[in-house]
Amino acid sequence: MRIEVVPFRTSSLAIAALAAATACGSRQGAPPPKVPVTVARVERRAVPYELNATGTVEPIRSVDVLPQVNGTILRVHFAEGDEVAAGQVLFEIDPRPYRAALQQTEGALLRDLTQALSAAREAARYRILAQTNTVTQEDYEQKQSTADAAAAAVRSDSAATAIARLNLEYATVRAPIGGRTGRLLLHEGNLVRAGSDPLVSIVQMRPILVRFPVPATSIPALRQRANQELAAIALPARDSASAVQGVLSFVDNQVDTATGSVLLKARFPNRDGALWPGEYVTITLVLGVQNDAVVVPSQAVMQGQQGTYVFVVNSDGTAATQPVTVERTLDSLSVIAGVPAGALVVTDGQLRLTPNAKVDIRAGPTTESAGGGTVGAGPQR
């Protein structure tokens, strides 16, 4: 009988292969590692009820100053960009033609007035004579007709005189409103035509309006506060430190079907001229305070195909998705519905999470696990 001895090297390779297979099986059966996350607790607190929007500053009144008579500009009484008061003299157009026309109409009026008085006295005398049959009724009626025609001529002359006097007044162009003047469009020596040559524009600066849209879903909240004076805060983009206080003054009567929003306007005193017509501002409309709002950090809210949701950390250390409804956002907080106050939600690390995955809380509060321990063994920062 022959006994074959297996070399030691072959036996060592077999043992190594067996050990490798055993280790591989051990790794395949190990649980997945915990996902490091940062959490925050859902809170119930009083938060301001505000609507935020981007608005555009617009003047309450803005006019283009046009001449109402023809003529040559003799003098300009302001500088471009000046603040002017209502009624202030801005331009002088050559008044000589209109002064002469006024004198002419005044002379015609005086002449016809004298003739009308004479005709009226003659008609009165003939009326008395007709009563005593000294003159015929036809003679009296003729004199009365002459007096009536003279009186009509006086009325016509009076109207012509008023028009001539008005044209003379129009030769002095005054500011129709108070405000800031713009670029001077015509200068001294230019010939202007009535109603067709703008001279300058004036924009009222104080007070001033800001128009801004808000979602149509805000209409019920606005209607509930229809009789209240709602505060508005405007923040110019060029000067984020200069907040301007005002009040809501207008709510449009219809929703824009293209944007699903309703137009609002807020009125600001603008005493220091912080708001400039045409500029964009960030505006906040303060509706009040919501005392029992449920809030979470805005970074906890995720957007998926099924809508908005958050990851809630359960007592057993797993994270589960929970659909929520975001009512509004205030700074870094979101007012939500769908998660009770006191729950833990994930604020960082959601992209690595899957439903029911184990979590390792690295920052934020902890929650008691089902076994009496705490979830998260990582250091608290």
The predicted-structure confidence for 92-109, as pLDDT tens digits, reads as follows: 999 999 999 999 999 999
pLDDT at 321 over 50: yes
* Fold adopted by 95-170: Helix Hairpins (1.10.287)
- Please provide the average confidence, as pLDDT, over all residues in the chain: 88
Listed as own residue / partner, the contacts of 375-379 with beta carbons closer than 8 Å and 24 or more positions apart are: 375/313, 375/315, 375/316, 375/317, 376/317, 378/36
Pick the CATH number of 63-93+174-203 from 3.40.50.150, 2.40.50.100, 3.40.50.1380, 1.20.120.1200: 2.40.50.100
pLDDT score, position 24:
52
Helices (H), the chain: 8-28, 96-131, 137-170, 219-224
Contacts of 282 (CB under 8 A, 6+ apart): 52, 53, 54, 55, 234, 235, 237
Amino acid at 344: L
- How large is the average pLDDT for residues 333-356? 92
Percent pLDDT > 90 in the chain is: 74
Q: Which among 360, 293, 305, 377 has a CA at the least distance from the CA of 330? A: 293
Report domain 51-60+204-290's class: mainly beta
pLDDT score of 8 more than 70:
no
Contact 191, 58 (CB under 8 A): no
CATH of domain 35-47+293-363: 2.40.420.20
Identify the pLDDT of residue 48: 86
* Two structure tokens written together for 159: 């109207």
User: In this predicted structure, which of 5-14, 33-42, 61-70, 363-372 has the lowest mean pLDDT?
Assistant: 5-14
* Domain residue spans of the chain: 35-47+293-363, 51-60+204-290, 63-93+174-203, 95-170
What are the tens digits of pLDDT across the range 153-170?
Answer: 999 999 999 999 999 999
